[in-house]
Structure 1
Amino acid sequence: MSEVMSVAQKRDPALLGPSDDLHVITANPAPPGASVTWIRTRDNLKLRVARWRCGARSVGTVAILPGRAEFIEKYFEVVRELLERNLDVVVLDWRGQGRSDRVLCDPGKCHVNDFRAYERDLEALCEQVLGPSCRKPWFALGHSMGGALLLAHARERPARFARLVLTAPMLDIHSKLLPYALSFVPNVLALLGLKTTLVPGGCREPYESAGLSGVVLTSDAGRLQRSLAVIKAAPELAVGDPTIGWVCAARRFTRQFKSAGFARGILAPVLIVTGDQDSVVDTSAARRFAAQLRAGQFVSLPGAHHDILMEGDPIRARFWEAFDAFLAGR
């Protein structure tokens, strides 16, 4: 059985904003009206969820599902922009990151043995937060790992989300990160009992500041520094590189997206947005997948890296233009 360690709560009043459960700094103000909820999964992990309501003119709720190693505070700017669109917002910290329970005693490692664990997180969010207290229709905005998990969820629960928006979905890991010649190594190491060991060359430092060599998450230095400032103020939010077990689990999970008919089984309309400079996930896999969807749209943003919502203003403006048209049914 995996050991579980709760992230220690930070109580420095100079850093905290409207809730002791959110970390707010001057460079990254929280949208007003935040409400933090703690939910429990079926396997008894505690997850942090933040909610915002836009007022009486709400046209629905957007659930933001971040990528690997991300945290709620990174999405404050996006939350604000969604609220301005008369959308309520819910943001989840996946297990093992942000202030949700860690899976291992070492908080710097990103680990799961199976991606069904993340699926339990999403189910808990729907049952304990969206269902009881969030206005419909429900939309979902998933980044990278969060986008891939949304697709799997939408296939199993076709009526739950009215529309899905995915940025840089992790349908396959970029070959730069996992060359074919080395693709067998994680499985071999896992068989040797090293599932909770960091990937070869990996480190425990925050993904935004360290990560894998040569990876550029965004071309916008200001937004990158904002994320790093949050991590510096609240280092317990961050997580480093994945473990061997996580990589093996990710490869098993993404294999389903290559199977014939998977995309056709998703009934909800899906917008997939990628960057042509992404070096983290395989954007060609996302393009092929979008072409197979019943109601799919694909947008490639020139000059954008992996963190599309943390990119520069011109790139983000093109994203929001596509987002607004898609939610309006155009």
Structure 2
Amino acid sequence: MTEHFFQTSDNPLPDNAAAGFFQARDGKRLRYARFAPVGRPEKGTVILLQGRNECIEKYFETIRDLSARGLGTATFDLRGQGASDRLIRDPQRGYVKSFRDYTDDLEIFFREIVLPDCRGPYYILAHSTGALIALLASPTLVNRVQRMVLLTPFLGIPDQRYSMKAIRRITMALMLVGLGRMYVKSGRQKAAAPFDMNDLTSDPVRFRRNTSVYDAHPQLALKGPTVRWLREAGKAVRKISDPQFMARMRIPTLIVAAGADRIVSTRAIAHFTRHLRLSSLLTIDGARHEILQEADFYREQFLAAFDAFVPGHEEDVFTAA
């Protein structure tokens, strides 16, 4: 099934790959991939949830890391990005009608792809927007997922004049006058800034590898988020921050923040984690937003924490960080 993947010379396809499409409730076709582990003994399957403007190919290195540990990977391109169906006429605009669409897609993915074809137990590894989706879906995943590892979850924007509450109000006002599909500030910029201006990673090799994927296969790329996307993200953050909702989150969770993150608010992550049961927080000092794409010095700190937490035991939930 290599025809469903987009390889480059410096980003080859991992072993034991299978891919295809599944259909969402609204008929959208979403690209998925499964990777069986090469390491032994087999320890289960990691459901990998991507961030905004990402695709399966960006995680080939991480999939190899998991595979060597005896962990399979199951992942899919979020609706509206990667090789999944786009949602509006302009395919470059980051848009979603509701974050509930993301969680509905995850439910179908679990039911139709993961449960029939992937070996348990199941774990979630999620980055940024994917981590927010995992938190939103957490109450429904209690009897399926053993543990979650959430990297730099999108819970707030750092160094902004406006709070998330104010952003929700502003975006709602814009939507009421028909501007929900308008780019937010800087939305028309290209998918990736030059390396010396990027806020994602301090590793030039991984940065070039990732940008080369989009240069070679521009149909996978996405530009900035729209007003509607930001509005729905804000609503999702408000929902998961409600104490009654948080009480229903009962999956042991390791949350990992990046000390030099300029994309999402590390302060908001720390505040949220303090109020979440069965969770612990690890902050990797000096790391930028995309920890899995970071330099080895930072990335290996994460992998050590991951290995201590997954598969893990109930008694060590609060000792991972």
TM-score normalized with structure 2 length: 0.91
1:234 aligns to 2:217 (yes or no): yes
Unaligned stretches of 5+ in structure 2? 317-321
User: How far has the Cα of 1:109 moved from its partner?
Assistant: 0.4
2:41 matched residue in structure 1: 57
Matches within 5 A, 1:135-284: 135-176=119-160, 179-180=162-163, 183=167, 184-203=169-188, 205-206=190-191, 208-209=192-193, 216-284=199-267
User: What is the number of equivalent residue pairs in this alignment?
Assistant: 310
**Over aligned residue pairs, what C-alpha RMSD do you find?**
2.1
Q: 1:186 touches 1:199 (CA, 8 Å); kept in 2?
A: no
1:104 aligns to 2:70 (yes or no): no
User: How far has the Cα of 1:152 moved from its partner?
Assistant: 1.5
1:79 partner letter: I
3-state DSSP of counterpart to 1:189:
helix
User: How far has the Cα of 1:204 moved from its partner?
Assistant: 5.9
Q: 2:186 touches 2:224 (CA, 8 Å); kept in 1?
A: no
Once residues 191 and 200 of structure 1 are traced to their aligned partners in structure 2, the CA distance between those partners, rounded to angstroms, is 18
1:161 partner letter: V
1:14 matched residue in structure 2: none
TM-score normalized with structure 1 length: 0.89
User: How far has the Cα of 1:111 moved from its partner?
Assistant: 0.3
1:4 matched residue in structure 2: none
User: How far has the Cα of 1:174 moved from its partner?
Assistant: 2.8
Instruction: Please list every run of at least 4 consecutive aligned residues from structure 1 whose deviation after the TM superposition is greater than 6 angstroms.
Output: none
Matches within 5 A, 1:281-320: 281-320=264-303
Deviation string 1:220-261 (CA, Å, 9 cap, x unpaired) is 111111111010110000100011111111111111233224
Q: 2:136 touches 2:236 (CA, 8 Å); kept in 1?
A: no
* % identity of equivalent residues: 35
3-state DSSP of counterpart to 1:265:
coil
2:8 matched residue in structure 1: 25
User: How far has the Cα of 1:314 moved from its partner?
Assistant: 0.7
Q: 1:264 touches 1:292 (CA, 8 Å); kept in 2?
A: no
Deviation string 1:5-62 (CA, Å, 9 cap, x unpaired) is xxxxxxxxxxxxx611101111111111210021001111100011111157311000
Once residues 93 and 126 of structure 1 are traced to their aligned partners in structure 2, the CA distance between those partners, rounded to angstroms, is 14
Once residues 311 and 204 of structure 1 are traced to their aligned partners in structure 2, the CA distance between those partners, rounded to angstroms, is 22
Q: 1:162 touches 1:268 (CA, 8 Å); kept in 2?
A: yes
Once residues 246 and 299 of structure 1 are traced to their aligned partners in structure 2, the CA distance between those partners, rounded to angstroms, is 28
Deviation string 1:134-172 (CA, Å, 9 cap, x unpaired) is 111000101001011111111233212100000001122
2:142 partner letter: P
User: How far has the Cα of 1:291 moved from its partner?
Assistant: 2.2
Once residues 31 and 200 of structure 1 are traced to their aligned partners in structure 2, the CA distance between those partners, rounded to angstroms, is 37
Once residues 215 and 264 of structure 1 are traced to their aligned partners in structure 2, the CA distance between those partners, rounded to angstroms, is 37
User: How far has the Cα of 1:118 moved from its partner?
Assistant: 0.9
Once residues 173 and 138 of structure 2 are traced to their aligned partners in structure 1, the CA distance between those partners, rounded to angstroms, is 32
1:134 matched residue in structure 2: 118
1:42 aligns to 2:30 (yes or no): no
